[in-house]
Amino acid sequence: MNKLKEKPILIIGGGFSGISAALEITEASSKSVIVVEKNPYIGGRVLQMYKYFPKLCPSFCGFEINLRRIKSGDEGKIKFFVSSEIEEISEIQQKNSGEQETGNNVLSAEGKVSSLPADASSENRGSAAFNANVNGNGINVNVINGNGNGNGYKVKMRQKPQYVNDNCTICGECAKVCPENRLNDFNYNMDKQKAIYITNISAYPSKYTIDAEVCKFDSCKKCESVCRYNAINLNAEEEIFDIEAESIVVASGWKPYDAGKITNLGFGKYKNVITNVMMERLASDNGPTGGKILRPSDGKEVKNVAFVQCAGSRNENHLPYCSAICCLASLKQSIYLREKNPESNSTIFYIDIRTPGRYEKFYNRALSDEKTKFIKGIVANIFEDESSGDLFLEAEDILSGKKIKFRADMVVLAAGMVPNQPAIKTSNFKFDYDANGFLFSQNDNLGIFSAGVAKNPADVYSSVQASTGAALSVLQFSANKRG
């Protein structure tokens, strides 16, 4: 009798939530997962944090625990495709007679087996497991109306050219000779890096990557000639993969709200008005200032920082919802500031401070610091004093009933989280986003689940809980499908 092989589970997004869902699924079952991540590294936004609340441990700490879990799991059960995005998903209508499901059906559109990503098991590279569906046998794909028949999904994925391969030892010799620069998006464009670069110290896969938008390729080739490990192939090409998946977990996370849209608060106009995500990078040892909290206009150590809560959040003109973490993020950043610059003062302008459950302790910690002040009131406007670069915040202090004009040398806007909505063509069903772009798991009967901030604004702890929930739903869906 043929052994029934299962289709893998597709996970969109390799942030904390996607990784957690992948681990929970594979540790609790015999299933395999494919994680598709658009960045050249996994780990998501948490890696851009300096530390994370409530324990204030370094951001790579929890990530490294997860990496250890990945490495100690069964080889090949979790496959990561970085620098990759899903282009199209359609539901499989029916299986042909014989009903033998195919295994890891990963093949290129040209019908040629594509190479596997960096961390795929070596025994599986180009092996029969990935060759199972080369001729398209056994699968009859039709467009249907999302009726949740349980036959799974056919997925088309593109992976950007992998110019640097797994031979890379991250020695950095290539970047030394590279003549071209790019804006460092990991640092929210606050500094530059070479066209061949490594995104962060925890980058996994652990290798350099090339920004094709700025690289001069054949007219340069300096990196290729200096690399002693044969790790660079400037002729690498994009690959297209067809995948079959049993069910899907959307864990595509968030992006910061565009603070430039809140015109009265001066972001994009005044250099010393920054956002909370930028503050994380300024505080980070591997950030643009080497971990010193210096203000952007003149590089002076900041002494008097104002945090503006709900910058755009809970506002019908911007984000109508509470992003759930911004109060905690500002309390955390105020603690960074006070630790790094002990002479500094921190002032937090708030509507209400939201620190649910055990996070109240964190609030109390900030409250007990005499150099951290709280002013209840919405900041109406921010202006710059051109000569000094300082900023004036106009607000009403609700508790005293007075209008105030507050002078700060830097302002941090606590901008909210906006869910990412992967631009995927779905011809026969649709992702059921709510009015704000979050994807609740209403599609349970379709085998489509969501996790982390793709589902709702959340901290890491709640994101991981949601991922465990999504993993359980995946396994329940699979069990129900089998009857």
Q: Interface residues with ligand SF4 (CB under 6 A)?
A: 164, 168-174, 177-180, 195-196, 208, 210, 215-217, 220-223, 227, 229, 231-232, 234
What number of CA atoms fall less than 13 Å from residue 292's CA on the CB side?
Answer: 10
What's the min distance (Å) between Cβ of 225 and ligand SF4? 9
- 156 near ligand FAD (CB under 6 A): no
What number of CA atoms fall less than 13 Å from residue 191's CA on the CB side?
Answer: 15
What's the min distance (Å) between Cβ of 19 and ligand FAD? 8
Cα–Cα separations (whole angstroms), residue 477 to 9, 308, 481: 11, 44, 6
- 17 near ligand FAD (CB under 6 A): yes
Which runs of consecutive H residues, i.e. helices, occur in 93-208? Answer: 128-131, 173-177
Please give the Cα distance from 349 to 395 (Å, whole number). Answer: 9
Asked if residue 205 has a cis previous peptide bond (ω within 30° of 0), the answer is yes
What's the min distance (Å) between Cβ of 195 and ligand SF4? 4
DSSP category for residue 336? H
What's the min distance (Å) between Cβ of 231 and ligand SF4? 4
Single residue of 314, 332, 338, 354 touching ligand FAD by CB under 6 A: 332
- 49 near ligand FAD (CB under 6 A): yes
Minimal CA–CA distance to 178: which of 195, 161, 193?
195
- Contact of residue 254 among ligand SF4, ligand FAD, none (CB under 5-8 Å per partner type): ligand FAD
State the angle between helix axes of 16-28 and 460-482 in degrees (0 to 180), rounded to the nearest 10: 40
- 456 near ligand FAD (CB under 6 A): no
Site for ligand FAD in 413-452 (CB under 6 A): 417, 420, 422, 452
What's the min distance (Å) between Cβ of 230 and ligand SF4? 8
Q: What is the DSSP string of 64-118?
A: HHHHHHHHHS-TTSEEEE-SEEEEEEEE--EEPTT----S---EETTSSPPPPPT
- Contact of residue 417 among ligand FAD, ligand SF4, none (CB under 5-8 Å per partner type): ligand FAD
- 309 near ligand FAD (CB under 6 A): no
- 209 near ligand FAD (CB under 6 A): no
Please give the Cα distance from 206 to 204 (Å, whole number). Answer: 4
- 78 near ligand FAD (CB under 6 A): no
Single residue of 8, 11, 16, 82 touching ligand FAD by CB under 6 A: 16
Q: Spell out where 273-401 has E strands.
A: 273-275, 304-311, 345-350, 372-376, 379-384, 391-397
**Residue closer to ligand SF4, measured from CB, 220 or 322:** 220
- 85 near ligand FAD (CB under 6 A): yes
φ and ψ at 64, to 5 degrees? -70, -30
What is the x/- site pattern for ligand FAD, positions 21-40, by CB under 6 A?
A: ---------------xxxx-
Single residue of 91, 242, 244, 280 touching ligand FAD by CB under 6 A: 280
Cα–Cα separations (whole angstroms), residue 34 to 8, 65, 157: 7, 20, 11
- 252 near ligand FAD (CB under 6 A): yes
Cα–Cα separations (whole angstroms), residue 166 to 233, 282, 327: 11, 31, 41
**Residue closer to ligand SF4, measured from CB, 156 or 222:** 222
Minimal CA–CA distance to 329: which of 254, 271, 277, 273?
277
**Residue closer to ligand SF4, measured from CB, 215 or 414:** 215
- Contact of residue 250 among ligand SF4, ligand FAD, none (CB under 5-8 Å per partner type): none
Cα–Cα separations (whole angstroms), residue 462 to 298, 320, 374, 457: 39, 21, 27, 9
- 458 near ligand FAD (CB under 6 A): yes
- Contact of residue 173 among ligand SF4, ligand FAD, none (CB under 5-8 Å per partner type): ligand SF4
**Residue closer to ligand SF4, measured from CB, 60 or 229:** 229
What's the min distance (Å) between Cβ of 466 and ligand FAD? 8
By CB under 6 A, how many residues form the interface with ligand FAD? 38
Minimal CA–CA distance to 411: which of 346, 481, 335?
346
- 11 near ligand FAD (CB under 6 A): no
227-260 burial: b if 16+ Cβ within 10 Å, else e: beeebbebebeebebbbbbbbbbbbbbbebbebe
Sites of contact with ligand FAD (CB under 6 A):
12-18, 36-39, 44-46, 49, 52-53, 85, 251-254, 276-277, 280, 325, 329, 332, 417, 420, 422, 452-453, 458-461, 463
